[in-house]
Amino acid sequence: MKTYRIPFNKPSFAGNEERYISEAIERGHISGDGHFTKACHKLLEEALSARKVLLTTNCTHALEMSAFLTGCDADSEVIVPSFAFVTTALAYTVRGAKPVFGDVRTDTLNLDETGVERLITRRTKAIVALHYAGVACEMDALLDIGRRHGIPVIEDNAHGLFAKYKGRWLGTLGVVGTQSFHETKNFTCGEGGALIVNDPALVERAEILREKGTDRSKFLRGLVHKYTWVDSGSSWLPSDLLAAFLLAQLEARDRIQARRRFLWERYTRELVDWAARHGTTLPHVPAHCEQPWHMFYVLMRDTAQRERFITHMEERGILAVFHYLPLHLSEMGRKFGGQPGQCPVAEDVSARLVRLPFFNRLSDDEQGEVIAAVHAFNG
Ligand SMILES: Cc1ncc(COP(=O)(O)O)c(C=O)c1O
């Protein structure tokens, strides 16, 4: 694999990770739901005013839990945006459900709420609202559709921790929200995730599913005198060592977000004229959305210009990447009936989007180099 002077992402450390991991070892509890897992739960529940947060092994597994919680099975359909991460759809297919791909909006690249209703059938079990780049989907409209049809809305909030929609925290608006703490996210423990359970009726089952189908959580709270196998599920608890790492990051959230905000705003400020001259577009954040400064992307004019741009950056030792091939056109997507032209906006933006290096410890000088390299592009 090539190495780049300025990579696209580098994991960043908040400072207390090693100390907390040593403490977890000293405490002698390094499996799931130890001291640090509980501390992460408490921090997130308080910060988000969330009813229940459960750390999971990753966001994909939190999405899988949402498939169980909404009763997905081989007879179900789940509406997902086509412009999405693979596991936004995969998580439901492992339960046998069929993903039904919706197109995205041209401004925020989020699921286009105006096209959702016509995708609903009597089999629809859930609508997945992925907040792309942590900029909220039009949740009022999606929740209204969900309410009218009796279909739960799940938030894939992998990008959007600490972002808001009309003053409300993302991840707390749907029946459940899912978070990622993968290395590429604002807050990380390498691999990790969380399920935010907002519907009180789902809390007990979520705990059971995550604990290998047992009522161990009740046992640990002294509510039953022995625990036993009561339901389906799997083992989705992260080690307390990972939770220790994560706590250090979450505690530093103000500092991390301030740095990311600075980087994001500088990219915007210093690239806005260049973007206009080249017929490219910078990210759009509606006034009613508070974003989490998760990523910085540019929508190029067309694929050829994007390819020239990526090569231009690469020649200067800078890695710029694109992502999300439309899911309906993937090999698996086609098996679920995906056809070219089905989601034209997803197809279009997927062919034009490029992301710039963006991580907590991107230095001012490094960012200056990226900006200078972009300015030197005239293609
Ligand atoms: C939108 C979205 N959903 C889900 C995931 C899966 O997250 P994880 O790697 O924690 O399973 C990602 C990962 O980047 C993502 O971007």
Pocket residue to mutate for ligand 1, from 9, 55, 82, 87, most atoms within 8 A of Cβ = 87
Residues in the chain: 379
State the distance from the centre of ligand 1 to the C-alpha of 59, rounded, in angstroms: 6
Q: Residue 23 pLDDT more than 90? A: yes
Cα(186) to centroid of ligand 1, in Å? Answer: 12
Instruction: Report the nearest-CA residue for atom 8 of ligand 1.
Output: 59
Distance CA 106, CA 243 (A): 37
User: Are residues 241 and 189 in contact, defined by beta-carbon separation less than 8 angstroms?
Assistant: no
| β-bridge partners, 99 | 78
pLDDT over 90, % of the chain? 98
Measure 185 CA to ligand 1 centroid, in angstroms: 9
Look up residue 96 and give its amino acid.
G
pLDDT of residue 379: 81
Answer yes or no: is pLDDT of 348 > 80. Answer: yes
pLDDT band at 3 (very low <50, low <70, confident <90, very high): confident
For residue 180, what are the β-bridge partners? 193
> Has residue 310 got a pLDDT over 80?
yes
- Give the type of residue at 208: I
Query: Given its phi and psi angles, is residue 230 left (phi above 0), alpha (psi -120 to 50 degrees) or beta?
Result: alpha
**What residue owns the CA closest to ligand 1's atom 9?**
182
The residue whose two tokens read 């400072």 is: 15
Q: Which of 85, 111, 176 to mutate to test the pocket of ligand 1 (most atoms within 8 A of CB)?
A: 85
Q: Pocket of ligand 1, candidates 161, 182, 187, 195: which has the most ligand atoms within 8 Å of its Cβ, to mutate?
A: 182
The H or E element that residue 23 is part of is: helix 17-27
Q: Report CA torsion sign: 152, 157, 160, 162.
A: positive
Bridge partners (DSSP) of residue 165 are 168, 289
pLDDT digits (tens, 9 = 90+) for 181-192: 999 999 999 999
Atom of ligand 1 nearest to the CA of 184: 14
Q: What is the mean pLDDT of the chain?
A: 97
Q: Is the pLDDT of residue 2 over 90?
A: no
Please state the atom number of ligand 1 nearest to the C-alpha of residue 182.
10
pLDDT digits (tens, 9 = 90+) for 128-172: 999 999 999 999 999 999 999 999 999 999 999 999 999 999 999
Please state whether beta strands 124-130 and 153-156 pair in parallel, antiparallel, or not at all (unpaired).
parallel
pLDDT at 311: 98
**Ligand 1 centroid to residue 5 C-alpha, Å:** 26
Report which ligand 1 atom has the smallest distance to the Cα of 185. Answer: 14
- The predicted pLDDT at position 371 comes to 98
> pLDDT-based confidence at 227, cuts 50/70/90?
very high
| Residues near ligand 1 (Cβ within 6 A) | 58-60, 85, 87-88, 130, 156, 158-159, 180, 182, 193
Average pLDDT over every residue of 343-367: 98
Mean pLDDT confidence for 250-254: 98
Does the predicted TM-score (pTM) go above 0.95?
yes
Query: For residue 182, how far is its CA from the centre of ligand 1 (angstroms)?
Result: 7
Decide if 301 contacts 317 (C-beta within 8 A): no
Buried b (16+ CB within 10 A) or exposed e, 321-359: ebebbbbbbeeebeebebeeebbebbbbbbbbbbbbbbb
- What is the number of the ligand 1 atom nearest to the C-alpha of 61? 11
Among 9, 59, 66, 327, the mutation site with the greatest number of ligand 1 atoms within 8 A of its Cβ is 59
